[in-house]
């Protein structure tokens, strides 16, 4: 394999001047970074003699890439290139030994013992020790939860972390948790004790020389504030060997697909993409494409059950769902590439998903349901509750991405005598504040986390989204939904290690959610990722979408979809 | 009996304000500007008859190409773009008329009235105008727009606010010169009351400047409305040329498809035409009314 430089590949169609200018503008920053690149490295200390590629990604910094200041999913991906976890997931979904070379679980599932690799070094040259691991979890536990969109939060349910040998660390849990390995050991970055032990201001620790000391496979060579370009270079002394991708350049390119065509980036991704966007890549063998249904950006319609009245009545919510043609949403808003939202919440590619009540598009049925529930149609076309209150609710949505969706959902609800009062808002406190603190009535929001993964994640996401025993404040969870049966099942699946038994529990949970419908995912657009094969050809969406999705460092380190062996 | 002519007074008396004569109305710029404005007003008034669909209702598939049913195709939810273009005229003309009217009203309040009162009031209001002028215009408007929220009237208020200070400065200068003019003193000396002086001398003296200010700020207002909507500060549930532009340009990889030619180009052209028509009228009026032109002539 040869190093991919910004040469323009042959294409079966030509760009006109406008397209060329747009693409050239988008790629200019990345090309500028590329101009500073060193030549191919043909000597690999830890591996073979093949030269190693430079990878260019079409987005800039999302926050400062430390565990305490990186933003959201892509920000986590940028941070975890500098830090490591005890375990790490590859493209098959298997949790690989990472900083830990072995992981043992006691019979009662309460004790997890990790044996650390020897010879792992922090980027400042000091050795990684078991003290660092113990310190990391103590440190997270001592600190308050960080505000979203920082996704790494103090792990819950850990009673004690202790050093039990020169290279072994033992975690004792409050109670068994089936998600511990994936969501704690496989997600929480280990931080150096010698750097962080004296630091109290987590979010304000933004010195790249100090606060980005990690064991990760890359060093950050250039950081230019939030949103700016990032430049990573591989650590050839990495414990798995010199990473396959030698250099990673990240730069904001407004139109990633134009950037990919022009040679300014090597990957572009999007949701529900039009055919004309994909056509130039699908007809050119230089590019590859992978797709997935049901990743984390699914738009959802929320009702605030805490407001009472019709909002707390499942028949009302069921009627709303029946009034919305979710297949039509896929056709219009996802170019026909996707699936209607599932009232049972789990995504199309979630192995735990089971068929549940679907509420097909049926306006007459929805009207009949509301009639039967005592919501009489008023003379103004708005129904009223039996005690005379109009079914008129404020509907919040973001004033950019959700506008087309609102133009379809609002008329649909009006057809059954429900009056949504549009309240578009800028993404930020104006939009999210009422949802967080229960001030809204209805809302259309994307699914931005922080619940792990999304609809295709481990089914524990159902507990995160719908259990009334979860955090009181959540950007994504259903508001004030209380069903003790569901809550009991949610707690039980978390401690159930027998897969068949857990599957039965999760099936029942989905059925309850589909009947009660505390929120409805409106549609799942197909996620598509297009890439230049000559740079990396084994891209994948990480199964379960957690802790990362497509920018999995395992691929960058090994050049392959699975395992730790470097290509 | 008439008062004897005083050479000093004669020298101080400003040149009598010209009125728009037939030559101004016949200038090519004025003819083109007024004709286009007339057409825009016609489209705005008769929008319900000219539009082929309700611009706020989904009437087709998403992203349809232009056809006999949808002359400019449809947007990403399936709303008719031609009808949005037609109804968008209303917003532009509303903003282009109400915004400058409020701006000029404000300019009279903080520019002309204090000048007529004089003394401390005038000094204070003048300082306030200078302060407003010192603020950076567009960023301030964007900030106000973000704070007051997203609706059409908020945008109009924002645009009006932006037009107060520059017009107040010009009107104040003219009001001060009129106040000291000899013919005003003469009129007062002959027993002319405040309302008589205001009606006979101030209104005719300031009126043309207000007209030029209105026309000039109208073209700015239309462009500003589009700009604010483009920046995401418009009411996304409304229909305007700026919102059409913003929505069209936000389509992912827009230029992979020819849809920009029927989605982005038409509102862009419409905004250009509307702005230019007001500009033509303003340019045609300037040689007659703008004080700088008058001085140089």
- Specify the higher pLDDT residue, A61 or B21: A61
B56, closest residue in chain A (CA to CA)? A407
Q: Which of A184-188, B119-123, B157-161: highest mean pLDDT?
A: A184-188
Provide, as residue numbers in chain B, all residues whose Cβ is less than 8 Å from the Cβ of A403.
Answer: 236-237, 247
| Pair of tokens at residue A215 | 């064991």
CA distance, residue B103 to nearest chain A CA (Å): 27
**CATH number of the domain that B111 lies in?**
1.10.3720.10
CA distance, residue A426 to nearest chain B CA (Å): 8
CA distance A453 to A447: 10
Give B73-128 pLDDT, tens digit per residue.
999 999 999 999 999 999 999 988 999 999 999 999 999 889 888 889 899 999 99
Option in A274, A400, A405 nearest B257 (CB): A274
Q: By the CB < 8 Å criterion, does B256 face chain A? A: yes
pLDDT at B296: 57
pLDDT at B293: 58
Strand-strand pairing, A111-116 and A95-97: unpaired
Interface of B with A in 175-194 (CB under 8 A): none
Q: By the CB < 8 Å criterion, does B287 face chain A? A: no
Contact A399, B145 (CB under 8 A): no
pLDDT at A149: 61
Domain that holds residue B261: 26-47+70-296
CA distance, residue B142 to nearest chain A CA (Å): 13
Residue B6 within a domain: no
CA distance, residue B263 to nearest chain A CA (Å): 15
| Pair of tokens at residue A462 | 């159902």
Q: By the CB < 8 Å criterion, does A274 face chain B? A: yes
CA distance A365 to B74: 30
pLDDT band at B20 (very low <50, low <70, confident <90, very high): low
Give B131-151 pLDDT, tens digit per residue.
888 887 777 777 777 776 667
pLDDT band at B157 (very low <50, low <70, confident <90, very high): confident
pLDDT at B237: 81
List, in order, residues 6 or more apart from B105 with CB less than 8 Å away: none
Q: Could you tell me the sign of the dihedral formed by the alpha carbons of A222, A227, A229, A232, in that order?
A: positive
Q: By the CB < 8 Å criterion, does A288 face chain B? A: no
CA distance, residue A273 to nearest chain B CA (Å): 8
Residue B17 within a domain: no
pLDDT at residue A447 greater than cutoff 90: no
Q: By the CB < 8 Å criterion, does A400 face chain B? A: yes
Provide, as residue numbers in chain A, all residues whose Cβ is less than 8 Å from the Cβ of B253.
Answer: 255, 257-258, 270, 273-274, 276-277
Provide, as residue numbers in chain B, all residues whose Cβ is less than 8 Å from the Cβ of A404.
Answer: 62, 75-77
pLDDT at residue A49 greater than cutoff 50: no
Q: Chain centroid to CA B221: how far?
A: 5
| Pair of tokens at residue B108 | 């009279």
DSSP letters for A194-223: HHHTT---STT---HHHHT--SSSEEEEEE
Option in B61, B232, B252 nearest A400 (CB): B232
Cα–Cα separations (whole angstroms), residue A75 to A296, A495, A521, B46 = 15, 31, 25, 52
Note the pTM of the prediction, 2 decimals: 0.84
Burial A165-196 (b: 16+ CB within 10 A, else e): eebbbbbebeebbbbbbbbbbbbbbbbbbebb
pLDDT band at A247 (very low <50, low <70, confident <90, very high): very high
Option in B57, B58, B236 nearest A403 (CB): B236
**In the beta sheet, which residues pair with residue A301?**
A444, A520
Provide, as residue numbers in chain A, all residues whose Cβ is less than 8 Å from the Cβ of B75.
Answer: 404
**Average pLDDT of chain A, as a whole number:** 89
A16, closest residue in chain B (CA to CA)? B255
Q: By the CB < 8 Å criterion, does B62 face chain A? A: yes
Least confident of A334-338, A455-459, A473-477, A556-560: A473-477
| Pair of tokens at residue B284 | 């045609």
Q: Which of A301-305, B179-183, B225-229: highest mean pLDDT?
A: A301-305
A412, closest residue in chain B (CA to CA)? B58
Residue B196 within a domain: yes
pLDDT at residue B25 greater than cutoff 90: no
Q: Contact B61/A19, CB-based, under 8 Å?
A: no
Residue B76 within a domain: yes
Provide, as residue numbers in chain A, all residues whose Cβ is less than 8 Å from the Cβ of B150.
Answer: 399, 424-426
Q: How many residues does chain B have?
A: 297
pLDDT at residue B8 greater than cutoff 50: no
CA distance, residue A333 to nearest chain B CA (Å): 7
Option in A257, A332, A422 nearest B77 (CB): A332
Contact A333, A406 (CB under 8 A): no
Q: Contact A277/B150, CB-based, under 8 Å?
A: no
Q: Contact A407/B247, CB-based, under 8 Å?
A: no
Q: Contact B146/A426, CB-based, under 8 Å?
A: yes
DSSP letters for B251-282: STTGGGSTTHHHHTHHHHHHHHHHHHHHHHHH
- Specify the higher pLDDT residue, B154 or A185: A185
Residue B54 within a domain: no
| C-alpha dihedral, A512 to A514 to A519 to A520, nearest 10° | 160
Q: What is the mean pLDDT of residues A291-313?
A: 90
Q: Could you tell me the sign of the dihedral formed by the alpha carbons of B237, B238, B242, B245, in that order?
A: positive
Neighbouring C-alpha atoms within 13 Å toward the C-beta of A210: 11
| Pair of tokens at residue A300 | 């959802």
Interface of A with B in 152-171 (CB under 8 A): none
pLDDT band at B231 (very low <50, low <70, confident <90, very high): confident
Interface of B with A in 198-217 (CB under 8 A): none
DSSP letters for A291-357: EEES-TT-EEEEEBGGG-GGGG-HHHHHHHHHHS-HHHHHHHHSTT-EEEPPTT---TT-TT-----
DSSP letters for A63-126: B-SSTTTB-HHHHHHHHTTT---SEEE-TTS-EEESSEEEEEE-TTS-EEEEEEPSS-B-TTSP
pLDDT at A36: 42
CA distance, residue A249 to nearest chain B CA (Å): 22
CA distance, residue A407 to nearest chain B CA (Å): 7
CA distance, residue B261 to nearest chain A CA (Å): 12
Best probe of the B interface among A26, A280, A407, by most B CBs < 10 A, is A407
Residue B4 within a domain: no
CA distance A507 to A56: 42
Q: To the nearest whole percent, how much of chain B has pLDDT over 70?
A: 88
Provide, as residue numbers in chain A, all residues whose Cβ is less than 8 Å from the Cβ of B62.
Answer: 331-333, 404
Residue B1 within a domain: no
Q: Contact A407/B79, CB-based, under 8 Å?
A: yes
Could you say which of 3.40.1360.10, 3.30.70.20, 3.40.50.300, 3.90.76.10 is the CATH number of the domain covering A87-196? 3.90.76.10
Give A253-287 pLDDT, tens digit per residue.
989 999 999 999 999 999 999 999 999 999 999 99
CA distance B198 to B192: 10
**Average pLDDT of chain B, as a whole number:** 85
Q: What is the mean pLDDT of residues A65-85?
A: 91
Q: Contact A332/B237, CB-based, under 8 Å?
A: no
Give A19-47 pLDDT, tens digit per residue.
444 444 444 444 444 444 433 443 343 44
Cα–Cα separations (whole angstroms), residue B1 to B4, B10, B190 = 9, 18, 11
Q: How many Cβ pairs closer than 8 A exist between chain A and B?
A: 71
Contact A268, A290 (CB under 8 A): no
Q: What is the mean pLDDT of residues A495-512?
A: 97
pLDDT at A80: 96
| Dihedral-angle region of residue A315 (phi above 0 means left; psi in -120 to 50 means alpha; beta otherwise) | alpha
Q: Contact A424/B75, CB-based, under 8 Å?
A: no
Strands laid side by side in the A158-163 sheet: A100-105, A111-116, A168-173, A158-163
CA distance, residue A280 to nearest chain B CA (Å): 9
Q: Contact A331/B58, CB-based, under 8 Å?
A: no
What is the DSSP secondary structure assignment for residue A181, as one 8-state letter? I
Cα–Cα separations (whole angstroms), residue B79 to A409, A560, B56, B246 = 14, 46, 7, 15
Q: Contact B256/A422, CB-based, under 8 Å?
A: no
Q: Chain centroid to CA B71: how far?
A: 30
A268, closest residue in chain B (CA to CA)? B253
| Pair of tokens at residue B237 | 């549930």
Q: Is the peptide bond before A547 cis (omega within 30 degrees of 0)?
A: yes
Q: What is the mean pLDDT of residues B171-176?
A: 90
Number of domains in chain B: 1
Residue owning tokens 């690799």: A117
Provide, as residue numbers in chain B, all residues whose Cβ is less than 8 Å from the Cβ of A407.
Answer: 58, 77, 79
In chain A, domain spans: 87-196, 298-525
CA distance, residue A500 to nearest chain B CA (Å): 43
CA distance, residue A263 to nearest chain B CA (Å): 15
Q: Chain centroid to CA B18: how far?
A: 22
Cα–Cα separations (whole angstroms), residue B278 to B18, B105, B106 = 21, 19, 21
Ordered alpha helix ranges (H), A419-472: 429-437, 460-466
Q: Contact A19/B78, CB-based, under 8 Å?
A: no
pLDDT at A204: 86
pLDDT band at A79 (very low <50, low <70, confident <90, very high): very high
Give B249-290 pLDDT, tens digit per residue.
999 999 999 999 999 999 999 999 999 999 999 888 877 766
The CATH superfamily holding the domain A298-525 is Dipeptide-binding Protein; Domain 3 (3.10.105.10)
pLDDT at residue B224 greater than cutoff 50: yes
Q: What is the mean pLDDT of residues A229-239?
A: 97
Q: By the CB < 8 Å criterion, does A424 face chain B? A: yes
CA distance, residue B201 to nearest chain A CA (Å): 50
CA distance A418 to A481: 21
**In the beta sheet, which residues pair with residue A95?**
A89
CA distance B240 to B246: 10
pLDDT at A27: 45
CA distance A112 to B169: 76
Option in B62, B76, B256 nearest A257 (CB): B256
Mapping DSSP to helix (H, G, I), strand (E, B) and coil, where does residue B183 land? helix
Q: By the CB < 8 Å criterion, does A38 face chain B? A: no
CA distance A168 to A130: 7
pLDDT band at A322 (very low <50, low <70, confident <90, very high): very high
pLDDT at A451: 60
Residue B10 within a domain: no
Q: To the nearest whole percent, how much of chain A has pLDDT over 90?
A: 74
Q: By the CB < 8 Å criterion, does B63 face chain A? A: yes
pLDDT at residue B291 greater than cutoff 70: no
A398, closest residue in chain B (CA to CA)? B236
pLDDT at residue A126 greater than cutoff 90: yes
CA distance A260 to A268: 6
CA distance A244 to A266: 15
Q: Contact B252/A426, CB-based, under 8 Å?
A: no
pLDDT at B22: 61
Give B32-41 pLDDT, tens digit per residue.
999 999 999 9
């Amino acid at each position: 394999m040869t190093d991919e430089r910004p040469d323009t590949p042959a294409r079966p169609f030509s760009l006109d001047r406008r397209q060329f200018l747009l693409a050239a503008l988008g790629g200019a920053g990345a090309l500028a970074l590329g101009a500073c690149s060193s030549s191919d490295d043909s000597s690999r200390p830890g591996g073979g003699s093949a030269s190693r590629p430079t990878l260019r990604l079409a987005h800039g910094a999302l926050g400062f890439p430390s565990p305490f200041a990186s933003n959201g999913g892509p920000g986590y991906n940028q941070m975890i290139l500098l830090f490591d976890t005890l375990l790490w997931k590859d493209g098959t979904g298997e949790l690989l030994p990472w900083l830990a070379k072995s992981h043992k679980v006691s019979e009662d599932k309460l004790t997890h013992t990790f044996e650390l690799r020897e010879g792992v070094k922090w980027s400042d040259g000091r050795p990684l020790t078991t003290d660092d691991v113990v310190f990391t979890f103590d440190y997270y536990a001592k600190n308050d939860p960080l505000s979203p969109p920082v996704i790494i939060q103090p792990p819950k349910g850990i009673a004690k972390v202790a050093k039990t040998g020169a290279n072994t660390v033992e975690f004792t849990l409050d109670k068994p948790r089936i998600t511990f390995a994936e969501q704690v050991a496989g997600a929480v970055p280990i931080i150096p004790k010698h750097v962080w032990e004296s630091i109290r201001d987590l979010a304000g620790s933004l010195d790249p020389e100090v606060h980005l000391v990690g064991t990760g496979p890359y060093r950050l060579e250039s950081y230019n504030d939030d949103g700016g370009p990032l430049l990573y270079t591989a650590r050839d002394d990495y414990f798995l060997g010199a990473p396959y991708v030698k250099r990673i350049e990240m730069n904001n390119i407004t139109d990633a697909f134009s950037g990919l065509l022009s040679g300014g980036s090597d990957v572009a991704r999007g949701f529900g993409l039009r055919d004309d966007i994909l056509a130039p890549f699908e007809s050119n063998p230089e590019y590859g494409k992978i797709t997935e249904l049901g990743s984390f950006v699914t738009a959802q319609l929320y009702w605030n059950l805490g407001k009472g009245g019709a909002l707390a009545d499942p028949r009302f919510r069921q009627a709303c769902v029946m009034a919305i043609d979710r297949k039509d949403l896929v056709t219009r808003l996802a170019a026909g590439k996707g699936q209607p939202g599932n009232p049972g919440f789990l995504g199309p590619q979630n192995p735990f998903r089971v068929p549940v009540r679907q509420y097909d598009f049926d306006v007459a049925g929805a009207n009949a349901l509301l009639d039967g529930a005592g919501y009489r149609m008023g003379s103004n076309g708005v129904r009223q509750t039996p005690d005379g209150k109009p079914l008129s609710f404020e509907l919040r949505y973001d004033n950019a991405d959700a506008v087309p969706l609102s133009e379809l959902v609002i008329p649909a609800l009006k057809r059954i005598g429900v009056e949504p009062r549009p309240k578009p808002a800028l993404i930020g406190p104006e939009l999210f504040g009422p949802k967080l603190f229960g001030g809204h009535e209805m809302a259309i929001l994307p699914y931005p986390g922080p619940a792990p993964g999304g609809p295709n994640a481990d089914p524990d996401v159902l507990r995160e989204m719908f259990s009334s025993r979860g955090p009181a404040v959540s950007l994504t969870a259903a508001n004030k939904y209380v069903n003790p049966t569901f809550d009991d099942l949610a707690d039980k699946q978390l401690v159930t290690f027998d897969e068949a038994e857990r599957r039965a529990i999760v099936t029942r949970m989905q059925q309850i959610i589909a009947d009660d419908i505390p929120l409805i995912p409106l549609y799942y657009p197909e996620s598509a990722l297009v890439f230049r094969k000559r740079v990396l050809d084994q891209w994948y969406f990480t199964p379960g979408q957690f802790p990362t999705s497509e920018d999995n460092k395992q691929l960058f380190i090994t050049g392959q979809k699975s395992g730790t062996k470097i290509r | 009996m008439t008062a004897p002519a005083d050479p000093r007074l004669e020298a101080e008396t400003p040149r009598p304000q010209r009125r728009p004569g037939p030559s101004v109305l016949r200038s090519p710029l004025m003819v083109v500007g007024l004709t286009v404005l007339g057409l825009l007003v016609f489209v705005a008034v008769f929008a319900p008859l000219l539009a082929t669909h309700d611009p706020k209702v989904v009437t087709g598939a998403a992203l349809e190409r232009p056809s006999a049913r949808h002359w400019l195709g449809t947007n990403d939810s399936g709303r008719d773009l031609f009808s949005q273009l037609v109804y968008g005229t209303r917003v532009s003309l509303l903003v282009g008329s109400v915004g400058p009217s409020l701006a000029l009203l404000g300019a009279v309040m903080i520019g002309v009235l204090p000048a007529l009162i004089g003394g401390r009031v005038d000094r204070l209001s003048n300082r306030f105008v200078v302060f407003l002028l010192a603020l950076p215009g567009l960023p301030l408007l964007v900030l106000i727009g973000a704070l007051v929220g997203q609706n059409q009237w908020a945008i109009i208020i924002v645009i009006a606010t932006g037009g107060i200070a520059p017009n107040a400065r010009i009107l104040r200068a003219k009001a001060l010169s009129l106040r000291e003019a000899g013919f005003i003193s003469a009129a007062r000396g002959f027993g002319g009351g405040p309302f008589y002086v205001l009606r006979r001398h101030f209104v005719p003296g300031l009126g043309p400047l207000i007209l030029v200010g209105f026309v000039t700020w109208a073209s700015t207002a239309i462009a500003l409305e589009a700009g604010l909507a483009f920046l995401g500060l418009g009411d996304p549930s409304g229909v305007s040329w700026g919102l059409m532009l913003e929505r069209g340009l936000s389509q992912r990889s827009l230029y992979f498809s020819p849809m920009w030619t029927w989605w982005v180009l038409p509102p862009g052209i419409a905004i250009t035409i509307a702005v230019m028509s007001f500009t033509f009228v303003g340019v045609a009026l300037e040689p007659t009314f703008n004080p700088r032109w008058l001085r140089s002539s």
